[in-house]
Amino acid sequence: MLVRRISYYDEFICLQGACPQSCCKGWRIPLDDRAIRRFRKEKGLLGLELKLAMHGKAQPSFSPYCIRCPFLRLDGRCDMQLRKGERYLADICRVYPRIIACPGPYAELQLDLSCVHVAELFLAHADAQYFVEEESDAEYERTGDNEDMEYLEMLGKSRDELCSFVIAAADAEALDAALRKLAAFGGRVQDRMMREGISEAEALAEGAELLKSEATDLPCFPLPIALLNDLMSTDFYQDALRYVLPFLYKLCKMYYRHFDKLSYEQGEKELQRMFAKYIAEKPQRVHMYAAYYKSCLLRTYMECYEDYSFLKHILLGVIGSNMIMLFDLLWHEKYGKTADEDLAKIISVCERRIYHNEAVGKEMMKLLIKRSDGI
């Protein structure tokens, strides 16, 4: 089978107890059917611990209130893995943060930026995001039901084109223009396919032409402070973050302390001041934001093969890029610098909240669409 791995895939090694932001905290941990059967058959003390740890009847999980896994030790390591080995774990615990997609003729192996160590690897390889291809004896379970191989090939070419289009942006104005055009592209392609029933080939060809001309009226980078405030006012921020994602809670509090007492007009001027000052000091930062958006396309755009949700995957990247930019500015404003380890944590928590909380991502996307008649 042909296997395509993201360029830094093989560099990932779980930090375990040394991880600064453990994936065993802040999430509900869903259990697959095989793990459930295995855990229910376990005898002795471990069997009792497992039965007490599983919550829910239809599809049990660990950590239902997203605080921490009951098997997370004080030293940051997994007690179950130490006692029974990695193969005993639930699928999600063994695979995360690896992303494995197999639409049929090939498999793509990627890494999830909600893991802080993966975010660090991304920052180290922001200019070198590409797929390494090889023939492998490994076999991967097919994901999805679509069997239109022509559409799959076209979608892959479309992703390459969009990635090249975004990464070519040399400054903030160019990145804003690129994201505006991508938003128009996503809306047109999705409408033409889903509502008007034209072929995938025709819709993607029309979309490619849009990249040369049309764009949405709504600024996409940076978003206006009024819209950023609306995004912050969704369930993206909750008081429960204090316990679930304390670093994100800290970032949100920094935002409200800085902007809450300002009118929208004052807030917009302050955002533009902070952005201009920061980019003047670190002009290469815009390229990092563009590289992050490219990583979003690489990881999620091919999901359009099954769900045809072009606008969703394009706009979630716009939202993620802006939230990371906002917290990057606030961190730099307060501390005078943003080290790579701090930026990696910012990326990680934003990814968790936007991409791994479907309700939050959907709510934020609807706000973005509502504010622009051009999408």
pLDDT of 71-110, one tens digit each? 999 999 999 999 999 999 999 999 999 999 999 899 999 9
φ, ψ dihedrals at 309, nearest 5°: -90, 65
Asked whether residue 88 falls in the same domain as residue 204, the answer is no
Residue partners of 55: CB distance under 8 A and separation at least 6: 61, 62, 64
Last residue of a domain, one of 95, 115, 130: 95
Asked whether residue 195 falls in the same domain as residue 339, the answer is yes
Cα distance between residue 216 and residue 314, in whole Å: 13
Asked whether residue 205 falls in the same domain as residue 330, the answer is yes
Residue 127, pLDDT > 90, answer yes
User: Quick one: average pLDDT of 244-248?
Assistant: 95
Asked whether 289 and 325 are in contact (CB, 8 A), the reply is: yes
The model's confidence at residue 138, banded by pLDDT at 50, 70 and 90, is confident
pLDDT at 371: 79
The model's confidence at residue 214, banded by pLDDT at 50, 70 and 90, is confident
pLDDT at 373: 60
Residue 10 lies in a domain: no
Which among 142, 141, 220 has a CA at the least distance from the CA of 175? 220
Give the count of beta carbons closer than 10 Å to the beta carbon of residue 168. Answer: 11
Asked whether residue 212 falls in the same domain as residue 317, the answer is yes
pLDDT at 260: 94
Asked whether residue 217 falls in the same domain as residue 366, the answer is yes
Residue 288, pLDDT > 70, answer yes
Residue 7 lies in a domain: no
Domain count, the chain: 2
Residue 219 lies in a domain: yes
Q: 25: helix, coil or strand?
A: strand
Which among 183, 247, 243, 236 has a CA at the least distance from the CA of 355? 236
Residue 374, pLDDT > 60, answer no
Residue ranges making up the domain that contains 60: 24-95
Residue 124 lies in a domain: no
Asked whether residue 78 falls in the same domain as residue 198, the answer is no
pLDDT at 213: 82
Residue partners of 329: CB distance under 8 A and separation at least 6: 271, 274, 275, 278
Asked whether residue 196 falls in the same domain as residue 89, the answer is no
Residue 101 lies in a domain: no
Asked whether residue 206 falls in the same domain as residue 74, the answer is no
Asked whether residue 236 falls in the same domain as residue 334, the answer is yes
Residue 297 lies in a domain: yes
Asked whether residue 361 falls in the same domain as residue 222, the answer is yes
Last residue of a domain, one of 76, 95, 114: 95
Helical (H) or strand (E) element with 151:
helix 149-167
pTM of the predicted model, to two decimals? 0.95
Last residue of a domain, one of 56, 78, 95: 95
Asked whether 186 and 158 are in contact (CB, 8 A), the reply is: no
Candidate ranges 20-29, 200-209, 226-235; pick with highest mean pLDDT: 226-235
The model's confidence at residue 31, banded by pLDDT at 50, 70 and 90, is very high
Residue 152 lies in a domain: no
Asked whether residue 75 falls in the same domain as residue 221, the answer is no
Residue 36 lies in a domain: yes
pLDDT at 205: 92
Residue 29, pLDDT > 60, answer yes
